[in-house]
Chain A
Amino acid sequence: MKRFALLAVLLFGALLVYGTTDFPDWGDPSSPAATHVSPHYIRHSLEETAVPNIVTAVLADYRGYDTMFETSVIFTAGLACFFLLRVFARKAPDSRLYRHRATGITLRIEQGGRLPEGAREFERIDSQWVPYDLIIRTACRLVLPFIQLFALYVVAHGHHSPGGGFQGGVIFGAAVILYAISHDLRSTLQMLPERRTVLMSAGGVLIYAGTGLICLLLGAQFLDYAALAGILGVDPIMARSHGIFIVEIGVAIAVMAVMVSLYYNLASVGRFDEGL
């Protein structure tokens, strides 16, 4: 069976390689992709949208529908994973560990018992517990602000450099995951609760679609950001540039929230009790 699978993969790979021989040459000016719409984008995107990066202009403006549905695909995927992985049945864990903050004495409480709410000097720790790792925590404390700042930079500078909503969202989500790895799931959930991640992923899509809807209400076509000129108080060309930026923020929020929500679900096997 394994050999058959290998053979199938190799055959399919060979077929794909054979298929590439009919592709137009790299950079061929007479290829279908380069004859119809590409010249228009290359010549006019800067003057029409005031975005130096053609890719961003094409992605979020000319092909705005496409990107909107990509964002909703990500949102739907996050939702599907949520429904698949999240365990709602309240099955109490076999035992919980609590540690006394001052002395480090650890208590094990069996059969779903909990400490009384007022016991402030105890903190919950994971049952399969990785000890306090000074080096990793300090390194993450130093590195996290930089990663977050870089993620915001990538979102904000999608117009001028490679990047944009998707990439920035992924990096910011990775920063949250880094926090969860270096500390634990519990403290991360206090900072960014499960409910908020789901709301944010929906809100990101809402920002995107809502921008399009506002354009529609203002009498232009769906996602025609030039209509926003009146609201933003700039000329239509700059309005398109700013519209792209608003949409990118929506994408970034959605991607970040979906990524973090996925991590929560996967790391805690859907229980949100103890994590990786």
Chain B
Amino acid sequence: MLDILVTLLLILGLVFFLGGSIGILRYPDFYSRLHPAGKLDSLGLLLTMSAMALYTVGQWNLGAVLAAVKIMLIVVFVFITSPTATHAIVDAGVRAGMRPWTRSKEGSEHDLAA
């Protein structure tokens, strides 16, 4: 039962990781690539780490529980640092004067008005 849950969480996390990587490859410019890099990776890490922490807790002794808490500590750490790192990169880009990729005018203006 636990194994199935762990496997499901792991697969879900890996899907997000895959999405992050493909997003980094597919999006048109530097700014939009940051979205998959910053978000999908954080959630993928949360899911995979929860899966592994669950599996570790399943052994149920003090060392295993502490290891699981440590794994969740990594998640907390990453949830503080990952957006900050993303912000640091995007800030460097803005100060370098990089122009963001935008769609051609007509479509976007119309959409916003609607």
Is B84's CB under 8 angstroms from A135's CB? Answer: yes
Is B77's CB under 8 angstroms from A143's CB? Answer: yes
Count chain B residues whose beta carbon lies closer than 8 angstroms to a beta carbon of A. Answer: 9
Count chain A residues whose beta carbon lies closer than 8 angstroms to a beta carbon of B. Answer: 8
Chain B residue numbers with a CB within 8 Å of A133 are: 91
Smallest CB separation, A136 vs chain B (Å): 6
B80 part of interface (Cβ distance < 8 Å): yes
Bound-state Cα–Cα, A164 to B22, Å:
39
Q: Which residue of B lies closest to A140 (CB)?
A: B84
Bound-state Cα–Cα, A136 to B80, Å:
10
Chain B residue numbers with a CB within 8 Å of A136 are: 84, 87-88
Is B81's CB under 8 angstroms from A143's CB? Answer: yes
Main secondary structure of the interface of A (DSSP, over half): helix
Chain B residue numbers with a CB within 8 Å of A135 are: 83-84, 87
Smallest CB separation, B93 vs chain A (Å): 14
Within B60-88, the residues touching A (CB, 8 Å) are 77, 80-81, 83-84, 87-88
A142 part of interface (Cβ distance < 8 Å): yes
Is A143's CB under 8 angstroms from B91's CB? Answer: no
Chain A residue numbers with a CB within 8 Å of B84 are: 135-136, 139
Bound-state Cα–Cα, A139 to B95, Å:
20
Q: Which residue of A lies closest to B82 (CB)?
A: A139
Main secondary structure of the interface of B (DSSP, over half): helix
A146 part of interface (Cβ distance < 8 Å): yes
Bound-state Cα–Cα, A133 to B88, Å:
9
Bound-state Cα–Cα, A133 to B85, Å:
12
Chain A residue numbers with a CB within 8 Å of B88 are: 136
Q: Which residue of B lies closest to A147 (CB)?
A: B77
Is A146's CB under 8 angstroms from B77's CB? Answer: yes
Most chain A CB atoms below 10 A, which of B81, B83, B84: B84
Is B80's CB under 8 angstroms from A142's CB? Answer: yes
Smallest CB separation, A176 vs chain B (Å): 17
What 1/0 flags go to A132-150 for Cβ under 8 Å of B? 0101100100110010000
Q: Which residue of B lies closest to A181 (CB)?
A: B88
Smallest CB separation, B85 vs chain A (Å): 9
Residue ranges of B at the interface with A (Cβ–Cβ < 8 Å): 77, 80-81, 83-84, 87-88, 91, 95
Residue ranges of A at the interface with B (Cβ–Cβ < 8 Å): 130, 133, 135-136, 139, 142-143, 146
Q: Would you mind naming 16 contact pairs between A and B with Cβ atoms under 8 Å apart? A: A130-B95, A133-B91, A135-B83, A135-B84, A135-B87, A136-B84, A136-B87, A136-B88, A139-B80, A139-B81, A139-B84, A142-B80, A143-B77, A143-B80, A143-B81, A146-B77
